[in-house]
Amino acid sequence: MKLLFIGLDGLSFDIFEEFPMPFLHDMSDEGVRAKFMSFDDPYMCTGPVWTSVQTGIRPEEHGVTEPGAAGWHTAAFKDNVKTIWRRMNEKGLSCGLINYPVTYPLRPVDPFVVCGFPAPWEHEGTQNPWDEVQFGGELFWPPELKEHVGGFRSAWMNYIPPEEYEDTHEPYRAAQEGDPESRNYIMALLHRSLHETARLAHILLRRYEVDVGVSIFMETDTLGHLGSAVPAVRREEFLHEVDNVVRELVLDCNPDNVIVMSDHGCWGQPHVKEGIFLAFGPAFGAGVKAEVEVLDVAPTILYLMGVYEPTLPREPAYRVLKSGQVEEEAQGKIQDRLRAMGYLE
């Protein structure tokens, strides 16, 4: 794998700096620890930002502009909008996507895609009430992937058993207001969905030999929205759990380079502009402190993969890359660095 791209939705830079996430802290100390500067309102939210990350253009240009999830779907894409996954596929590179937001209705990616939030439930006779736009169609590509996916549902709310869903909105609100029982219930759901997404990522990224592996975790956004309703010790435990999930995925996938980023920050109800952009591997500089903006990400990924063409509004973020060309024969070098940091024997 040439690049492992991990999303931690809604994880703010300040929270990342404050709480112990040892693997990500070590990784970014040896590589890039940048503030990800999200869009200003009204586009500082999941749908517009992740769509701009995967297209390299602003919301007004790709069409996903609404602040609510009802408008976050590929049917909103304007004509001729092309994702970086498609650009790389056209150049012969393989990409596997797990839970990437705004990939439904499905647009095939070679060799696979598991649609992310928001997407309808597959429970027979039920639909996800958070998804006001129902299109029908597959959530997975290729269709036979469903046999390997099992009971996976995109985004954490879709892990709730259908018989419980109508009773979940009130516990979520109550958790935000500090009710301990409701908080414990929601935290248990977050734990379950975090590990289900990780389980799926391990299965699929082992099964398919891809050039670019992508897995997005939505749970950090919900944790952020709960804010101070979650005691600091519980928040620390969960973020440490997230850190372990990322560490295990990196070690299992054995990539040449790694990017871990969020789409914005979140604390309590309001989003904040400063998310994270962390990177590690022979293509990136060491000890880099910088800022990375939304439209920097797509051209940087294309550059890393050797298929960048100056057709997007921004150039690659050369400030976070190692000076000179992307290294050839990078295989094994990230393992050497992880070994030196004590993560491999």
**CA distances, 11 to each of 14, 105, 293, 304, 337 (Å):** 9, 26, 15, 24, 26
Alpha-carbon span 43 to 10, nearest angstrom: 13
State the Cα–Cα distance between residues 260 and 28, nearest whole angstrom: 9
Q: Delimit the domains of the chain by residue range.
A: 3-269+285-319
Rounded distance, CA 33 to CA 23, Å?
13
Which residue is listed with tokens 């779907």?
73
- CB distance 221 to 116 below 8 Å: no
> How far are the Cα atoms of 15, 84, 141, 180, 229 from residue 56, in angstroms, in the given order?
27, 8, 23, 42, 36
Sign of torsion over alpha carbons 229, 232, 237, 240: positive
Q: What are phi and psi of 27, to 5 degrees?
A: -60, -45
**Structure token pair of residue 281:** 């591997």
pTM: 0.90
Chain centroid to Cα 136, Å, comes to 24
Round to whole Å and give the CA distance between 5 and 187. 25
Place of tokens 């018989």: 163
CATH topology of domain 3-269+285-319: Alkaline Phosphatase, subunit A (3.40.720)
Residue 139 DSSP one-character state: S
Q: What tokens does 285 get?
A: 């500089």
Would you state the pLDDT for residue 275?
Answer: 97
Radius of gyration of the chain (CA): 19
pLDDT number for residue 31: 95
Per-residue pLDDT of the chain (345 residues; tens, 9 = 90+): 999 999 999 999 999 999 999 999 999 999 999 999 999 999 999 999 999 999 999 999 999 998 877 788 888 899 889 999 999 999 999 999 999 999 988 889 999 998 888 776 544 444 444 343 444 567 789 988 877 666 555 444 444 444 444 455 677 778 888 888 888 888 888 898 899 889 889 999 999 999 999 999 999 998 998 888 899 999 999 999 999 999 999 999 999 999 999 999 998 768 899 999 999 999 999 999 999 999 999 999 999 999 999 999 999 999 999 865 444 445 556 767 677 777 766
Nearest to 198, CA basis, from 244, 136, 230, 233: 244
112 backbone dihedrals φ, ψ, rounded to 5°: -155, 155
Residue 289's CB is within 10 A of a number of other CB atoms, namely 11
- The Cα-based distances of 169 to 47, 134, 151 in angstroms read 21, 21, 22
Q: What was the pLDDT predicted at 182? A: 85
Both tokens of 207, joined, read 């099964």
Alpha helices in the chain (DSSP H): 13-18, 22-30, 46-55, 59-62, 84-90, 146-149, 162-165, 169-176, 180-207, 219-226, 232-253, 297-304, 333-340
For tokens 């939210």, the residue is 45
Report the SS3 class of residue 127: coil
Instruction: Output the pLDDT for position 175.
Output: 83
pLDDT attached to residue 128: 46
How far apart, in whole angstroms, are the C-alpha atoms of residue 305 and residue 281?
A: 13
Query: Is 135:105 a contact under the CB 8 Å cutoff?
Result: yes
236 burial (CB, 10 Å; 0-12 / 13-18 / 19+) is middle
What is the distance between the alpha carbons of residues 149 and 165, in angstroms, rounded to a whole number? 22
Q: CA 159, CA 191: separation in Å to the nearest integer?
A: 10
